[in-house]
Every structure is written in structure tokens, then in C-alpha cells.
Amino acid sequence: MNTTEKVMERTPILSVEGVSKAFPGVQALTSVDFCVMDGEIHGLVGKNGAGKSTLMAILMGILEPNEGTIIIGDQQFHAMSPKEAIEKGIAYVPQHVAMMDSLTVAENILAGELPKTKSGFVNWKKVNSEAKERLDRLGLEMDVTKKVEGLGVAEQTMLAIAKALFGDAKLIILDEPTASLSRTDINRLFAFVKSLKDKGGSFIYISHHLEEVFEICDRVTVLRDGHIVGTADVAEIDVPKLIVMMVGEDVEDYTRESTCEDETVMVLNGLERRGYYENINLELHKGEIIGLTGLQGCGVEQLGKGLFGLEPRGIGEIILADKKFTAVRPIESFNQGLAYLPQDRYRYGLVGLRSVRENVTYPILNKLVRLMNLINGKEEKIIVNKYIGELDIKTPSQEQPARLLSGGNQQKVVFAKLASTQPSVLVLHEPTQGVDVRAKMDIFRIIDAMAAQGVAIIIISTEIRELIGVCDRILVMNDGRLTSEFKKGEKDMTPEKILAAIEGGKINE
């Protein structure tokens, strides 16, 4: 597109029709239709796991869709190779830009085409002047002799965008470019992107920050659970409406009767880990379900892992079942009555190569071993069978490798593993991520049943609607502090209010 002024026409520069993509156990995208016009900034929003990354990977030629077509200009593709995608003018600028850090801006811009002198050496004068000239054409001011590692994050992002344009990119994908930027930097970046748009550039803008979408985008598309919920002009929509599109209203909600009893199971007293969370005070009752939520990086994730012993916990006191909770390793946590369901099932939840049976009994092997550390196979099979029945795990046999189960059933295997340790407290991190709608209901039923047996449950999740459905209380964390509390039955417990609290900090006072 270079810098030549283009007439703003509403012609699609890229469209995607009926694209589906499935991974073992997960349907990541279901017949997605998506279209970016020439010269627009198109916002793409959705929660974690909604399918944004999968869609982008398909556009970049990294993944091949199971079905569907990609149309660029007048050409149709089923799938592209990464090289083809670049040739077609699609460029991706990630959150953390990868460039040759120890080289100068000019070298990065002219990499591979450095002007040479007659004797074959690099003509440095020309390198710098040429680079400067190119940047000037985009209206970007930068010291081209500076090393890239000395630039700020915003500059690096802008430089990456500029570089993509020099490479004849027609559509630039910006993935969370503002995640680690200050407000002033965001303003500069946005001004730059807008100026490029005025010169005819097209962008896909991915972000978790909804206000930014309204600030910079022309249209916005919402993805949820691998489906396109809709596309709207930002002029015709507002934040609450967008939130409703993201969290969904048409999904049947799971609701339950509270099983909360008066007896206290766990007390957190002044828990603090520098840089992650501080002053965490929490009382957890028998059969109670608490939701913990907040923006990415607010510290809930570390709190969950810290409680379980996957990460350092910091200082503070924890009382579990009237005893001091001293576990620093997962196995000790299991033994002292606390179990944790990790967010990333494939990496932390399951040993996918091994069988369902082995996965379920990993934490309780110490109770199953007899003489010479040999495992009592009969007893093990009985236990595993019990949980397969109770949690309704669909598997051909106990010996099936866990990786071959569907996403929902894999998650149930993880639940069976946790249940086998008979915990008093259960910490669940995004328990419904990557499972389909039906399995979600099953998982809520399992959570419900465990609470009814008196297990106190903490759910760490960004699925606000789901939390509202199952939790007795929802606590919001902001920058490592618990800032607001919503109780079941109070009329404040609405997705809008909670989301406002997540984004804005204290509002409950």
C-alpha cells in the first residue's frame, strides 16, 4: 500500500468464510465468517480461549483450518503457508516484538538489503539516510542509529509496524499492543496507527481492553467459544453491549442452591507475595463456593498456584481445618487437604500419554502402595472405577491414554484426580476452559456435588456469568488486592457491576 493516498472504498481486503478448526478434544473455531475492509481498524475481542489466537494463526498460515476458505483480494485459499501469508501482505505484530535487539533501528529496517559501497562494504551513511527517509514517509520520528534494545516498548511496536509496511504489508494484525504500555505511550501508538489508517492501512486490533477498542477501531467483531457472535460498528454500540456479546446471554446458566455451612474450613491471614498480591484475608466455609476474578496479571493466578505450592507463596498465615497449613509442595498440599486444578490442562493438568487410571491415582499412590513400593492394582482399579462412574467419564477403558479423550472428559479426569485425594479445599483455575457447552454443565454439577459434600471451593475465573451462577461470593482482585465483594442474593451481583469492578477497581464503597 505504501504511502500513496487511496480512496476509501468499502471493499474487503480479507475475508474468511466458514472456517472451522478442531484440536484433539477441543473445537476451537466453528464455521467462522469474518471480514476486514480496506482501510479500517477492525477490533477483535473475546475472552481467553474464545478462538482469537487460532483464527489469527490461520490467517498467518501457521495453522491449517479443517474447513473453510480464506479470500484475499480476488484469490481464494483453503490454507496458506506462512510464506504465502506474508506474500499476500498479512503481517503480525505480537505483544512482545521480536527484532534484532542488538542492531540499530536502521539495520533492522534495511535488514537483507543493506546498501553497499562499490568495494562491497556496507555504506553506513546511506543505510542511515535511507532508513530515516523511509520512517519520515510514515511520519515516524526515531533515531535510526539507536539500538533496538534501547527503544521503549511503544517505539518497538511502532517500528515493527513500520517494518511490516516496508515489506508491503496490506493488513497488519496487532495483538495486544498496549498490554504493557503507559497511557502516554498508548496515545502515541494510537496516533501513529490512525495516521497510517488515514493513508490507507488496514489493521486487525486484538485487545482485552474494551475502551481502547472504542478509541481506535472502526468496527469490532466478538468471538465466543469459537463462534462469531457478531460484528458491529463501534459508533452503534457501547461497552455494556459489547460485554453482553462477550459473555453471552443466550447460554443457559447453571444455578444452584447454596450449600454453605457456618463451619470455617480455611482462613487466609495477611497473605502477601511481593509483586503479585498483598494483604489477602479470606475466610472460607464448609461447602462454600467462592469466585475469585480480576484482569490478567492482577495476581489471582499466582494466588491459586501459591496456595497449592506450584509457586512461592510469600508470607502470611493459612489455617486449614484448624491446623496450620504448611505445605510448600503439591504433594504436601494434597496430604494436608488442598487440591488445585490448573488452568492449562495439557501442560499441568494431565499426563496425556499415560492412561486415565494412572492419571487419577497419581497423588494417592502413597496410600496404594504395599510392600516394596508396589502398587495394589486391584484396589487402584476399584477406586478409578468409582470415579469414572461418579463423574460420568466417557472412556472406553481405564487404560485409554488421557490425551485421546474429549476436552470435557479430560477435565473430568483431572477432577477425579483431585477428588481422589479427598480434599477439604479445592482451588479451581478456569475449570470450564476448553470444554464444550454440555461438558460445562457436567463440570458445574461435579463442583456442586463436591460442595454439597462439604468441600470448600475457590474458583479462579474470568467467566463472570458462570461465577454468578455457581458462587456464594465473588471477590474481585485489582493489582494484587481484594477490592470488592459481591454476595449471592444481593442485587449488585450482575455481570455489568462485576466487570466494572474488575476494570475500575474499588466501586463498592
Partner 1 sequence: MNKGQKRDWVKIILDNFIWLILTVLFTYFAVNVPNFTSKTNLLNILLHASVLGVLTIGQAIVLMTGNFDLSAEGMVSLSTILAMWLMIEPGSVVGTAQGSGLMLNPYLVIFIILILGTLSGYIIGVLITRLNMNGFIVTLAAQLVLRGVAMIVSNGQIMTGSPKAFNWLGGAKIYGIPVSVIVTLLLFVGVNYMLNQSKFGRELRAVGANPDAAQASGFNPKRTITLAYTIGGFLAAFAGWMLLGRLETAVSSLGSGMTLETVAASVIGGVSLKGGIGSVGGAFAGVLLLSLIDNALNLMSVDSFWVESVRGFIILLALLIEAQKFRYKPKVVHEKEPAVASDCK
Residue 249 CB, shortest distance to partner 1, in Å, is: 10
User: Quick one: 370 exposed, middle or buried, by C-beta within 10 A (0-12, 13-18, 19+)?
Assistant: exposed
Residue 450 CB, shortest distance to partner 1, in Å, is: 19
Residue 419 CB, shortest distance to partner 1, in Å, is: 13
Q: Confirm or reject binding of residue 316 to partner 1 (CB under 8 A).
A: no
Q: Please state, in angstroms and rounded to a whole number, the distance separating the CA atoms of residues 205 and 43.
A: 5
- Measured CA angle at 157 (ends 151, 162), to 5 deg: 105
Q: Please state, in angstroms and rounded to a whole number, the distance separating the CA atoms of residues 429 and 443.
A: 13
Closest CA to 465 of 423, 437, 504, 505: 437
Residue 31 DSSP code? E
Q: Confirm or reject binding of residue 362 to partner 1 (CB under 8 A).
A: yes
Question: Whose Cβ is closer to partner 1: residue 54's or residue 157's?
Answer: 54
Question: Whose Cβ is closer to partner 1: residue 89's or residue 408's?
Answer: 408
Question: Which residue of 10, 183, 324, 347 would you call a contact of partner 1, by CB under 8 A?
Answer: 347
Contact positions with partner 1 (CB under 8 A) in 212-271: 224-227, 229, 248, 250-251
Residue 18 CB, shortest distance to partner 1, in Å, is: 13
Residue 21 CB, shortest distance to partner 1, in Å, is: 12
Question: Whose Cβ is closer to partner 1: residue 71's or residue 364's?
Answer: 364
How many residues line the site for partner 1 (CB under 8 A)?
53
Dihedral angle sign, alpha carbons of residues 416, 417, 420, 421: negative
Question: Whose Cβ is closer to partner 1: residue 57's or residue 404's?
Answer: 404
Residue 300 CB, shortest distance to partner 1, in Å, is: 17
Question: Whose Cβ is closer to partner 1: residue 164's or residue 468's?
Answer: 468
Q: Confirm or reject binding of residue 331 to partner 1 (CB under 8 A).
A: yes
Residue 342 CB, shortest distance to partner 1, in Å, is: 5
Helix (H, G, I), strand (E, B) or coil at 39: coil
Question: Which residue of 12, 94, 352, 454 would you call a contact of partner 1, by CB under 8 A?
Answer: 352
Q: Confirm or reject binding of residue 350 to partner 1 (CB under 8 A).
A: yes
Q: Where are the alpha helices (DSSP H) in 177-281?
A: 183-198, 210-216, 239-247
Residue 346 DSSP code? I
CB atoms within 10 A of CB 76: 11
Q: Confirm or reject binding of residue 438 to partner 1 (CB under 8 A).
A: yes
Question: Whose Cβ is closer to partner 1: residue 28's or residue 477's?
Answer: 28
Residue 471 DSSP code? -
Residue 332 CB, shortest distance to partner 1, in Å, is: 9
The total number of residues written for the chain in this structure? 509
Residue 405 CB, shortest distance to partner 1, in Å, is: 7
Pick the piece of the chain touching partner 1 (CB under 8 A) from 126-134, 158-166, 236-244, 397-405. 397-405
Question: Which residue of 369, 381, 504, 506 would you call a contact of partner 1, by CB under 8 A?
Answer: 369
Question: Whose Cβ is closer to partner 1: residue 200's or residue 226's?
Answer: 226
Q: How far from 353 is each of 310, 375, 415, CA to CA, in Å?
A: 22, 20, 18
Q: Confirm or reject binding of residue 21 to partner 1 (CB under 8 A).
A: no
φ and ψ at residue 270, rounded to 5 degrees:
55, 45
Pick the piece of the chain touching partner 1 (CB under 8 A) from 37-45, 128-136, 177-185, 359-367. 359-367
- Measured CA angle at 289 (ends 257, 311), to 5 deg: 165
Residue 331 CB, shortest distance to partner 1, in Å, is: 4
15 within 8 A of 211, measured Cβ to Cβ = no
Edge-first strand order for the sheet with 171-175 is 90-93, 171-175, 202-206, 41-45, 219-224, 227-233
Q: Confirm or reject binding of residue 129 to partner 1 (CB under 8 A).
A: no
290 within 8 A of 473, measured Cβ to Cβ = yes
Q: Which segments of 385-480 are extended strands (E)?
A: 425-429, 456-460, 473-478
Q: Confirm or reject binding of residue 3 to partner 1 (CB under 8 A).
A: no
Site map for partner 1, 285-314, x if CB under 8 A?
A: -----------------------x-x----
Q: Which segments of 435-501 are extended strands (E)?
A: 456-460, 473-478, 481-487
Question: Which residue of 111, 328, 437, 452 would you call a contact of partner 1, by CB under 8 A?
Answer: 437
Closest CA to 59 of 34, 30, 87, 85: 85
205 within 8 A of 42, measured Cβ to Cβ = yes
Question: Which residue of 221, 293, 409, 484 would you call a contact of partner 1, by CB under 8 A?
Answer: 409
Pick the piece of the chain touching partner 1 (CB under 8 A) from 51-59, 122-130, 370-378, 449-457. 370-378
Question: Whose Cβ is closer to partner 1: residue 285's or residue 345's?
Answer: 345
Q: What is the 3-state secondary structure (H, E, C) of 90-138?
A: EEEECCCCCCCCCCEHHHHHCCCCCCECCCCCECHHHHHHHHHHHHHHC
Question: Whose Cβ is closer to partner 1: residue 120's or residue 396's?
Answer: 396
Pick the piece of the chain touching partner 1 (CB under 8 A) from 143-151, 170-178, 285-293, 348-356. 348-356
Binding site for partner 1 (CB under 8 A): 27, 30, 224-227, 229, 248, 250-251, 308, 310, 329-331, 334, 340, 342, 347-354, 358-359, 362-363, 365-366, 368-369, 372-375, 377, 394-396, 400, 404-406, 408-409, 417, 436-439
